[in-house]
Amino acid sequence: NAGVTQTPKFQVLKTGQSMTLQCAQDMNHEYMSWYRQDPGMGLRLIHYSVGAGITDQGEVPNGYNVSRSTTEDFPLRLLSAAPSQTSVYFCASSTTQNTEAFFGQGTRLTVV
Amino acid sequence: SQQGEEDPQALSIQEGENATMNCSYKTSINNLQWYRQNSGRGLVHLILIRSNEREKHSGRLRVTLDTSKKSSSLLITASRAADTASYFCATGSNDYKLSFGAGTTVTVRA
């Protein structure tokens, strides 16, 4: 099994550009989430989903949109990139928020 | 704000020694989890302890949970160079969020 697959692995954006970070899982997990990781701050929750068609905001949702049209996919959209969004982004999936989470390998995003 | 806070922020030990790190949290939880992250990689799940459990073992890992003090500890025994990584605690609760701390960076010297 592939587990959780994130694409792309690296991306450089100019301020104001938009893009979508892709996340797919093949474990039939209901719960999926997006985190950003900045030096010294650990992982902060951006958005999460408890199932297809259901999404909610995490700790730092501003500037990001998500949708969950299928169980497998949970894309993260940056609407108008800002330098403050330079970070490493991780997607994770699990059966619920109270079970083991499986992480993708991350997307390193730089906004210039 | 983040739910969990790890202590210490960084730890350097000799190979073969034990490593202990602590996690404190603020609100009631259903479970507490520990993850490892090697440099430049995603997080890997190590162990989950539920709120009604006090201690759990997995190989060289021992986790304790004290809900009255809102704290947990992770002990790695007989450390190896391959244990060099960052370790994060994460709390799961009824609000559908899994919240992470800032992590402890462990360096195991040969």
pLDDT of amino acid B1: 46
pLDDT of amino acid B5: 83
- Interchain CB distance below 8 Å, A101 and B33: yes
pLDDT of amino acid A1: 63
Query: pLDDT tens per residue, chain A (112 residues)?
Result: 679 999 999 999 999 999 999 999 999 999 999 999 998 778 999 999 999 999 999 999 999 999 999 999 999 999 999 999 999 999 999 998 789 999 999 999 999 9
Q: How far is CA B10 from the centre of its chain?
A: 13
Q: Mean pLDDT for chain B?
A: 93
Encode A32-59: b = buried (16+ Cβ within 10 Å), e = exposed: bbbbbbeeeebbbbbbbbbebeebeebb
CA nearest to A74, candidates A2, A1, A7:
A7
Share of chain B above pLDDT 90, in %: 79
pLDDT over threshold 80, residue B50:
yes
Q: Is A85 helix (H, G, I), strand (E, B) or coil?
A: helix
Of B92, B97, B103, the CB nearest to A42: B103
pLDDT of amino acid A37: 96
- Interchain CB distance below 8 Å, A42 and B30: no
E-only strand ranges, B38-101: 43-50, 55-58, 61-66, 71-76, 85-92, 98-100
pLDDT of amino acid B58: 96
Distance between CA atoms of residues B42 and B30, nearest Å: 24
Of B2, B43, B103, the CB nearest to A103: B43
When pLDDT is cut at 50, 70 and 90, the band that residue B2 belongs to is low
pLDDT of amino acid B88: 96
- A–B: how many Cβ contacts below 8 A? 63
User: Average pLDDT, stretch B84-106?
Assistant: 91
